[in-house]
Amino acid sequence: MFGDKTYFDGFTWVMFPKANGISNTFTYEFWVKAEEQQLLDPEKSLGNDGLVGKKYVVGPDFYPYGSAGCGISVGTNGISVYEHSSNHIPARLVYPYDFSSWQHVAIVSDNRKLRLYINGQHRKVEGADSVVDHLYPSLCLGGHQYGAFKGEVSEFRLWSTIRTEAELKANMHSKLNGMEKGIYFYRDLDRGIVIQHGVVKNIAVSVIMPSHNRCPLNHFSLLSLDKQQFPSEQMEVVFLDDNSSDATSSLYELINPGYSFIYVQSRKNRGRSTIRNIGARIAAGSTFIFLDAEMICAPDFVGNHAQHHLSGDRKVVSGALKLKRIFTIIDPEFSLQQIAQLKECYSNHPVAAELIDRFLEGDRAQVQLLPFDMMFDSNHLRKWNYTTPYYENILLNYGDEFQNYHFPWINLITNNASMTRELFEEIGGFDEHFLGFGWEDWELGYRAAQHGATFIHDDSVINFHQDHPVPSDNLFQATQNYIKFCEKYPDDKAVKLFSLTMLAGPDPFNDLSEYLTEYNRIKAQYPQRFNAFYNYMDSALNLLPQRLRADDRITPFVMDEHISKMEKADVENEVSVICEMSTFPRLIELYKRLSN
């Protein structure tokens, strides 16, 4: 991103760590092509004209009185340079120009004196003096709360030096190698070049974390990542605020982690698939870790994930099948079931028990239950968590590498999953047609399996899910996405068999693989012997997704509605023969589940 062309849609911008290590003297340089006009303001030293009608390629950071952040707004009709401080955001340099086609722009701040260059030629000096002592360059790229840019940007560079006209002309058509003197910020991910605060970064791991209205749980998750044993200079977190309406936007200013913190603001709700793909395009790491916003991670979490991918093999690694659940807050929107679970978990807790009693006695405000020393103590969390063992029998029967399991791709659960950037890009990222809750991660895992990936469960990367209020329509959304999954892969019987997990059953995830194993085995051993049975089973499986109802139930396959009496008799005779063999008990069980 930014080394090559990057498209901004007018709703999304990216805030990199602040460039407050330099001030007054610096140079912005980039190629730009705009799609929308902006309001061109008069040049002033004072005023608040930069609040409306702007298309910020560089959003101006806010600084208190005496200092200001520099911002650049570009429309098809011209360019404006602003400085932003307390009650202060005037345009100090404005130049009408046609930016509807690609143009090279350089803004030079020479001890706060602004100069504009277009296509390597000097065009204008500032029309108004700065009234602040310190002018800082900003790295809020693509937009700002006061207006977002729509168009393309390429080869974005921030220098801690003055770039001369000759230097601009000599290098405007060339890519950087990262060793240039004075380069302060530059990213060319295709070539693996990341420069931040004037330092070449070797980003090994990018944690990609989408969030929608998960504050303060997302804050706790980000703090847990700041306690990782993995070298912080080799790690970045791409945090994706998917149009939150809570206090999430405060996190950019609130936390100051050791890792590189990249905050992506979307003013349009994208959904899980799209927002994660946006994050992946920004991420610089050779390994991607996908993490939900409410996950607290032990100090060895990132390092253990990264270790798996040092060989570059096609692996999908997760600990999500043994998910541990904790409560870090109590919320007035919790269900009665969650309240009961909360009381059970923390009945004798030295801190949380009293807070829970106070909440239940009438003080219904959201409250943090665990102090940070407990919240980030893995031993404490292991003692006070609870589990929901949906998947553990899979691991007991098929092992941590899912040998002979037909559905290993369910190991890709995006509250805790890692793979190489190369594998993610090869399989095409998340399918953005999957909207709402569920199945977008398993569908990505399905494609990873098709591309030869191996799936590994690792107990050392189990993390802790912070419980939160659950939307009532999650199950409905997941059902709709599953139907979409079936429509995408209409010839895969195994995908359709997954409908049975939406029915009550003793161990559906374990059953499915055993059903499929026996069905494949009988077809291999007797390819022509039980054709009536095969046709019936295939028809019943094909109809499973169609028979899903809004209440997430499946009506049974009624034989008389779909086959003749003669065909029914043939099926029943063949089923009797298969029963007498006594070698396909799980297949007969599947037959009964589909028919009764």
> What's the pLDDT score for residue 552?
45
Instruction: In whole angstroms, give the CA distance from residue 512 to residue 516.
Output: 6
Residue 483 lies in a domain: no
Q: Are residues 320 and 416 in the same domain?
A: yes
Structure tokens at 546: 């169609």
Query: Of 175, 191, 207, which one is at a domain's C-terminal end?
Result: 191
> What's the pLDDT score for residue 551?
52
Residue 47 lies in a domain: yes
326 neighbors 384 (Cβ within 8 angstroms): yes
Dump pLDDT digits (tens) for 322-333: 999 999 999 999
Instruction: In whole angstroms, give the CA distance from residue 482 to residue 501.
Output: 11
Half-sphere exposure in the Cβ direction for 39 (13 Å, CA): 13
Q: Which residues contact 303 (CB under 8 A, 6 or more apart)?
A: 228, 229, 230
473 pLDDT more than 50? yes
Q: What is the mean pLDDT of residues 482-492?
A: 92
Instruction: In whole angstroms, give the CA distance from residue 334 to residue 14.
Output: 33
pLDDT band at 131 (very low <50, low <70, confident <90, very high): very high
> What's the pLDDT score for residue 553?
55
Instruction: Tell me the helices (H) and strands (E) count for the chain, helix number first.
Output: 18, 29
Q: Are residues 430 and 498 in the same domain?
A: no
Q: Are residues 45 and 13 in the same domain?
A: yes
Q: Are residues 299 and 444 in the same domain?
A: yes
548 pLDDT more than 80? no
Q: Are residues 31 and 125 in the same domain?
A: yes
Structure tokens at 50: 């930069």
pLDDT band at 581 (very low <50, low <70, confident <90, very high): very high
Q: Are residues 447 and 524 in the same domain?
A: no
Structure tokens at 289: 């870790």
Q: Which long-range contacts (CB under 8 A, 24 or more apart) does 545-550 make?
A: 545/482, 545/483, 545/486, 545/487, 545/496, 545/499, 547/499, 548/479, 548/482, 548/483, 548/499, 548/502, 550/476, 550/479
Residue range(s) defining the domain that contains residue 293 = 224-324+388-477
Query: Of 477, 505, 540, which one is at a domain's C-terminal end?
Result: 477
User: Beta-carbon neighbour count of residue 242 at 10 Å?
Assistant: 25
pLDDT band at 475 (very low <50, low <70, confident <90, very high): confident
Closest CA to 376 of 322, 305, 461, 296: 296
Question: Helix H segments across 287-330?
Answer: 301-308
Q: Are residues 266 and 398 in the same domain?
A: yes
Phi/psi of residue 177, each to 5°?
A: -105, -5
561 pLDDT more than 80? no
At 301, which CATH number? 3.90.550.10
Question: Helix H segments across 346-468?
Answer: 352-360, 372-375, 378-383, 392-398, 421-426, 440-450
Q: CB burial class (10 A; 0-12, 13-18, 19+) of residue 36?
A: middle
Q: Are residues 319 and 234 in the same domain?
A: yes
Dump pLDDT digits (tens) for 245-284: 999 999 999 999 999 999 999 999 999 999 999 999 999 9
Cα 434 to chain centroid distance, Å, stands at 14
Q: Are residues 494 and 531 in the same domain?
A: yes
Q: Are residues 116 and 232 in the same domain?
A: no
User: Beta-carbon neighbour count of residue 323 at 10 Å?
Assistant: 21
pLDDT band at 500 (very low <50, low <70, confident <90, very high): confident
> What's the pLDDT score for residue 547?
72
Q: CB burial class (10 A; 0-12, 13-18, 19+) of residue 325?
A: middle
Number of independent structural domains in the chain: 3
Query: Of 143, 172, 191, which one is at a domain's C-terminal end?
Result: 191
496 pLDDT more than 80? yes
Phi/psi of residue 307, each to 5°?
A: -60, -35
Question: Helix H segments across 172-290?
Answer: 217-225, 251-254, 272-282
Q: What is the CA radius of gyration of the chain?
A: 29
Q: CB burial class (10 A; 0-12, 13-18, 19+) of residue 41?
A: buried
At 47, which CATH number? 2.60.120.200
Instruction: In whole angstroms, give the CA distance from residue 384 to residue 378.
Output: 10
Mean pLDDT, rounded, of the chain: 93
Dump pLDDT digits (tens) for 445-470: 999 999 999 999 999 999 999 999 99
- Report percent pLDDT > 90 for the chain: 85
